[in-house]
Amino acid sequence: MPMYLRKTLHSLSLLLGVTFISFLLMVYFGPDRSYAIAGKNPDTAQLEEIRQQLGYDQAFLSRYFTHIKDLASLNLGQSESNGKPVSQLLAETIPVSLLVLLPGFLVGNLLALLLAMVAAWYRHSWPDRLLTNLSLAGVSISFLIIIILLSTWLCTPQGLNLFPSRGWRVDSLASWFTYATVPSLALIIVTVFFNLRFYRALLLDEMQQDYIRTARAYGAGPFSIMFKEALPNTLIPFLTRLLFSLPAILVSGSLLLESYFGIPGVGKVSFDAIFNADQPVLNAIVSLSAILVIVIAWLADFIYPYLDPRINLQAESP
Amino acid sequence: MEPIVSIRNLSISYPGDGARSAVKHINLDILPGQAVGLVGESGCGKTTLALALMGMLPPGCDHRGKIIIAGQKVDFYQRPGQASARDHCAMIFQNPQTSLNPVISVGTQISRIILRYSRLKKSAIPDRLAELLVLVGLSDHCRKLYPHELSGGMQQRVLLAMALAREASILIADEPTAALDAGTRLQILNLLKQLQEQQKLSLLLISHDLSAIARVCQQVAIVYQGRVVEQAPQKLIYTQPRHPYSAGLLAAIPKIHPQRPRKLQTLLGEANHSSGQTGCDFASRCPRREAYCEQQLPPLNATLEKSQQFACFNPRPLSAVRK
Amino acid sequence: MTASLKPAKPSSRFKLPTLGTLIFIGFIGILLALAAYPLPEWQTISPDRFAGISLEHPLGTNALGQDIASRAETASWHSLRIGLIVALCAGFLGVSLGLLSGWYAGRWPDTIILWLTGVMEAIPFYLFVAALAYALRQFSWSMELAMVITFWTTMARLIRAEVIRLKQRDFILSARAIGLSPSRTLTAHILPNALPVLLVQLSMIFIAAIKAEVILSFLGLGNNSSISWGQMISESTHEVISGHYMNFFSASILLFMLIYSISLITDSLQTRSDPRQGVA
Ligand SMILES: Nc1ncnc2c1ncn2[C@@H]1O[C@H](COP(=O)(O)OP(=O)(O)O)[C@@H](O)[C@H]1O
Ligand code: SF4
Ligand SMILES: [Mg+2]
């Protein structure tokens, strides 16, 4: 079987797995929604009808297939707390989350990579020690503490009071700066601390390879060695980390950041959904983000051959 | 003729190795256009010497003595990318597979060096690349290939093209054929010899294999435990090795004279690296050892014929020489 | 490399205690001191609101007049308990599944375990833990359970890789050749050699659990039967604006001391088993 086929099959099996788990937890063993829908004092016939509509009387497997079909057609139901269609809710909030999180996420990763280059270049001398020790101390500070310290410093009268401490009314670049600067700064700090040591280890590994010795023997300078020789060899693990932390940041990072700063993104929506046990919303977010992870991983497999010519997806796999 | 490389009394020890040095009091000259061979077992300090020539010793090494290349003193810890005496030297390495960047096409890897060292305009680089590929015997479509798509011999040719692209007058080849199979080994050695003569390069060819050196070099230095124990023109080493170690190395070559098959004779034992011993380093393995060998270090002496130097108190007599 | 039956011995040379151990000893010292000190119960409400530092309240009181030192102490034990329970349970699960899947590498038990790992890793864990912990909130171990279910995967992957690596070593091959059973080989020969990796990952889980608990209880998704650092920090966000910092500082400093000391100790452990990864 060629590699790409095997990888695709593997991704499909993972898709079955995550949809099955979300089905079990959120639908099959999830809360019985018929009472909520039926309103006060329903009679048995009414309940029976609603249960039929919800498909509760169907067999296990056929309910699971309905669940998959709904996910595939983005037919995600309605939020129980505000009655909006879940797909509409997501369409409104995902762009907000991207605006809050993506810039900080990207800048943080690039900054971590640059600092990792400095550390790897000066390995075992003071710039390296300083950076690696700082980042170890940095990852030991909870994201929460960083957010509180930053917002107390930048958003309250005790500090500089430069930015609003909560809210989101963004319609222009200037307003983006007003509302997104502090959350982005917090995210940048955390991203740098979180990634610096990993990227340093990647680069350090490459710096010990023979081809770097060749480059040095042929007069390559620090810039050339880092960017033209070592970096192309670390692109795959770098990109993998970047891609795989993206869904986690989007969902989990926004949970804290958005509920703290009162930003109406996916995180805020999931936060509210958890509190209100809003099953359709939670189900949609958990299922879709898990699917997103798998799809990203699957797509990444098709990018890798462009980054490393040694990878051959046509090759027969064992 | 003035030597283009002269190594004077060079000693190098790695950090933490204490009194044990990887290279001990080495003196070596390379004349312009000359091919010099450096022979010795693995671990005897050949690579260390080559890295010192390139100014690429790992940090923290202790070194004494000096190296002068084209009248310029070599800085042992060259910062990468800085112009220096090293610019006269190009180096190719033992393992061509790992010495090339795996994710960059070989054409790009060679072109980068052309761009760095020749005064050519950017537009002229592809032509120069084509020229170099022809010189090292690679067909033009190779420029688009990646290292893993080439055989070991082709990879070594790419490294040779990179060395030529550097436009250096001195080429250091550290065991360039050790990782290759027998047939390819011969082709690469012939190519090396051809390029050296054609381009008038000064060559330092490093190997643990005397027969490889014999094909290419005019002058040979035999190294044992970081010390040059015998140094002579290639012919003399082959016909009348005086140091017992040289004779042992020579005897270890299966068929140097195919018409007269000899019994394979190998060197007994292994190098012992105990520091603080006073006598001859080779004493523990030497068939000609005498009691006095362990009292004192034999100096590298010139004999009557000045061209042959060896460090031995009890050298093989000239009468024992094979005809 | 020569195979040895025992894991590498740490050097017996006497060393000064590292920064990590010092901070950890400091953390435990503070806890013991607070435990020995006669403090009010953490729930006790008193009219003495936002009291300053005094003999009665060594760290002052909060908006309800509750003793911050007592709350900080209780929260610390609470965090340590969660970290340990989650690390041990998730570690046990991960090690067992990792051993199984490494031993049967390429065969069906391995395929299933790898698939399960892939599935669990695709689910966004904060959200999953939050949803599960909240859904099962009547059940007092819900948060621990949710974390155990999600935190075992990396351990399983690492142990699997170790088993596959060690399985080919001479001493394992000979142990199998003399007829040692798979379970004996795994526990007596492979596991001790995988110990460095195992310990490092255990402390990673410990750290992750404590950090996650703080964030969840900050968000109000935690377990309400005890006070936690997250709740203290959550209370403090309203207080810092009016200039009351004790709640915030006592919780966040204790949290930092615990996480940082364990990270430093783990890092030196990691540097010893793989010198390239560590801090220098
Ligand atoms: N980076 C290093 N650090 C410490 N010792 C080294 C290092 N490289 C080589 N050595 C030691 O120096 C001696 C000479 O090594 P080397 O020059 O590589 O020998 P050769 O190239 O002749 O095989 C050997 O004993 C080797 O163990
Ligand atoms: S000096 Fe003595 S021991 Fe050394 S090589 Fe000569 S004969 Fe052998
Ligand atoms: Mg060598």
CA distances from C133 to A142, C142, C172, C221, C224 (A): 20, 5, 42, 7, 12
Closest CA to B236 of B211, B251, B218, B249: B218
Asked whether B58 lines ligand 1 (CB < 6 A), one says yes
Per-residue confidence band for C279, with pLDDT thresholds at 50, 70 and 90: very low
Inspect the interface and report whether the beta carbons of C276 and A293 lie closer than 8 Å: no
Per-residue confidence band for C275, with pLDDT thresholds at 50, 70 and 90: very low
B235 alpha carbon – ligand 2 mean position (Å): 22
Q: Among all chains, which residue has been given the structure tokens 């309800």?
A: C64
CATH: 1.10.3720.10, 1.10.10.60, 3.40.50.970, 3.30.1330.40. Which one for A87-277?
A: 1.10.3720.10
Rounded Cα distance, B241 and B244, in Å: 8
Rounded Cα distance, B210 and C60, in Å: 83
Q: In this structure, what token pair is assigned to residue A4?
A: 């790409």
Helix (H) or strand (E) holding A192: helix A173-207
Rounded Cα distance, C240 and C236, in Å: 6
Q: Rounded to an integer, what is the distance from CA B253 to the centroid of its chain?
A: 18
Q: Are B78 and B86 in contact (CB under 8 A)?
A: yes
β-sheet bridge partners, residue B202: B170
Exposed / middle / buried, residue B21 (Cβ in 10 Å: 0-12, 13-18, 19+): buried
Residues of A in contact with B118 (CB under 8 A): none
- Around ligand 2, the residues with Cβ closer than 6 Å are B 243-244, 280, 282-283, 286, 288-289, 293, 298, 312-314
* Minimum CA–CA partner of C122 in chain A: A290
Whether A125 has its CB under 8 Å from any CB of chain B: the answer is no
Q: Are A6 and A314 in contact (CB under 8 A)?
A: no
Report, as an integer, the average pLDDT of B196-223: 92
Rounded Cα distance, B234 and B237, in Å: 5
Per-residue confidence band for C173, with pLDDT thresholds at 50, 70 and 90: confident
Closest CA to C124 of C212, C194, C33, C244: C212
User: In this model, does residue C10 exceed pLDDT 70?
Assistant: no
Q: Are B315 and B230 in contact (CB under 8 A)?
A: no
Q: Are C221 and A274 in contact (CB under 8 A)?
A: yes
Inspect the interface and report whether the beta carbons of B116 and A219 lie closer than 8 Å: yes
Whether C249 has its CB under 8 Å from any CB of chain A: the answer is no
Instruction: Give the pLDDT of residue A262.
Output: 93
pLDDT in tens, A215-245: 999 989 999 999 999 999 999 999 999 988 8
* Minimum CA–CA partner of B93 in chain A: A214
Mean pLDDT over each residue of chain B, to the nearest integer: 86
B48 alpha carbon – ligand 1 mean position (Å): 6
B43 alpha carbon – ligand 1 mean position (Å): 6
Asked whether B94 lines ligand 1 (CB < 6 A), one says no
- Could you give the 3-state DSSP secondary structure of residue B7? strand
Instruction: Give the pLDDT of residue B303.
Output: 63
Rounded Cα distance, C219 and C254, in Å: 19
* Residue with the larger pLDDT of the pair B233 and B79: B233
Whether A290 has its CB under 8 Å from any CB of chain C: the answer is yes
Whether A312 has its CB under 8 Å from any CB of chain B: the answer is no
Question: Which phi and psi angles does B195 have, rounded to 5°?
Answer: -65, -40
- Could you give the 3-state DSSP secondary structure of residue C174? helix
Rounded Cα distance, C57 and C34, in Å: 11
Instruction: Give the pLDDT of residue C2.
Output: 34
Instruction: Give the pLDDT of residue C213.
Output: 92
Inspect the interface and report whether the beta carbons of A248 and C122 lie closer than 8 Å: no
B46 alpha carbon – ligand 3 mean position (Å): 6
Q: What is the DSSP letter of B279?
A: S
The closest-lying atom of ligand 1 relative to the alpha carbon of residue B58 is: 1
Q: Could you tell me how many residues make up chain B?
A: 323
Report, as an integer, the average pLDDT of B79-92: 81
Report, as an integer, the average pLDDT of C26-31: 95
Q: Are A266 and A95 in contact (CB under 8 A)?
A: no
Counting ligands in written order, the one closest to the CA of B275 is 1
Report, as an integer, the average pLDDT of C201-208: 95
pLDDT in tens, B211-254: 889 889 999 999 999 999 999 999 888 888 889 999 888 887 76
Instruction: Give the pLDDT of residue B263.
Output: 43
Exposed / middle / buried, residue B106 (Cβ in 10 Å: 0-12, 13-18, 19+): buried
- Please report, as a single letter, which amino acid is at residue C111: T
Q: Is the interface score ipTM higher than 0.85?
A: yes
Q: In this structure, what token pair is assigned to residue C117?
A: 């790992």
Residue with CA at minimum distance from ligand 1 atom 18: B47
- Could you give the 3-state DSSP secondary structure of residue B295? coil
Minimum mean pLDDT range among A151-165, C41-55, C256-270: C41-55
Minimum mean pLDDT range among A76-85, B151-160, C40-49: C40-49
Q: In this structure, what token pair is assigned to residue B104?
A: 């960059």
B179 alpha carbon – ligand 3 mean position (Å): 12
Q: Are A99 and A264 in contact (CB under 8 A)?
A: no
Instruction: Give the pLDDT of residue C24.
Output: 95
Chain A neighbours (≥3 Cβ pairs under 8 A) are: B, C
Helix (H) or strand (E) holding B90: strand B89-92
Q: Are A174 and A94 in contact (CB under 8 A)?
A: no
* Residue in B86, B100, B117 nearest the CB of A214: B100
β-sheet bridge partners, residue C162: none
**Cβ within 8 Å of A, C 78-137:** 115-116, 118-119, 121-128, 130-132, 134-135
Domain boundaries, chain A: 7-72, 87-277
DSSP string for B169-213: SEEEEESTTTTS-HHHHHHHHHHHHHHHHHTT-EEEEEES-HHHH
Q: Are C229 and C75 in contact (CB under 8 A)?
A: yes
CA pseudo-torsion sign A265, A270, A271, A276: positive
Per-residue confidence in pLDDT tens, chain A, 318 aa: 788 898 899 999 999 999 888 888 777 776 677 777 777 777 888 888 887 877 777 888 888 888 888 888 888 888 888 889 999 999 999 999 999 999 999 999 999 999 999 999 998 889 999 999 999 999 999 999 999 999 999 998 888 899 998 999 989 999 999 999 999 999 999 999 999 999 999 999 999 999 999 999 998 999 999 999 999 999 999 999 998 888 878 888 899 999 999 999 999 999 998 888 888 898 899 889 889 999 999 999 999 999 999 998 888 766
pLDDT in tens, B45-66: 999 999 999 888 888 888 899 9
CA distances from C219 to A7, A258, B71, B297, C249 (A): 38, 11, 72, 78, 18
Report, as an integer, the average pLDDT of C67-92: 94
Percent of chain B beyond pLDDT 90? Answer: 52
pLDDT in tens, B90-138: 999 989 999 999 999 999 999 999 999 988 899 999 999 999 999 999 9
Closest CA to A113 of A283, A241, A9: A241
- Please report, as a single letter, which amino acid is at residue B122: K
Q: Among all chains, which residue has been given the structure tokens 């349970």?
A: C89
Inspect the interface and report whether the beta carbons of A309 and B148 lie closer than 8 Å: yes
Rounded Cα distance, B50 and B207, in Å: 12
Residues in Cβ contact with A7 at an 8 Å cutoff, skipping those fewer than 6 apart: A298, A301, A313
Instruction: Give the pLDDT of residue B305.
Output: 60
Q: Are B242 and B322 in contact (CB under 8 A)?
A: no
Chain B neighbours (≥3 Cβ pairs under 8 A) are: A
User: In this model, does residue B273 exceed pLDDT 60?
Assistant: no
Report, as an integer, the average pLDDT of C188-217: 92
* Residue in B81, B82, B101 nearest the CB of A229: B101
Instruction: Give the pLDDT of residue A295.
Output: 92
β-sheet bridge partners, residue C161: none
Whether A12 has its CB under 8 Å from any CB of chain C: the answer is no
Rounded Cα distance, C151 and C90, in Å: 6
User: In this model, does residue B156 exceed pLDDT 50?
Assistant: yes
Per-residue confidence band for C113, with pLDDT thresholds at 50, 70 and 90: very high
Q: Rounded to an integer, what is the distance from CA B107 to the centroid of its chain?
A: 27
Instruction: Give the pLDDT of residue B221.
Output: 95
Where b means 16+ CB within 10 Å and e means fewer, C115-154 reads ebbbbbbbbbbbbbbbbbbbbeeeeeebbbbbbbbbbbbb
User: In this model, does residue C13 exceed pLDDT 60?
Assistant: no
User: In this model, does residue C148 exceed pLDDT 70?
Assistant: yes
Helix (H) or strand (E) holding B12: strand B5-13
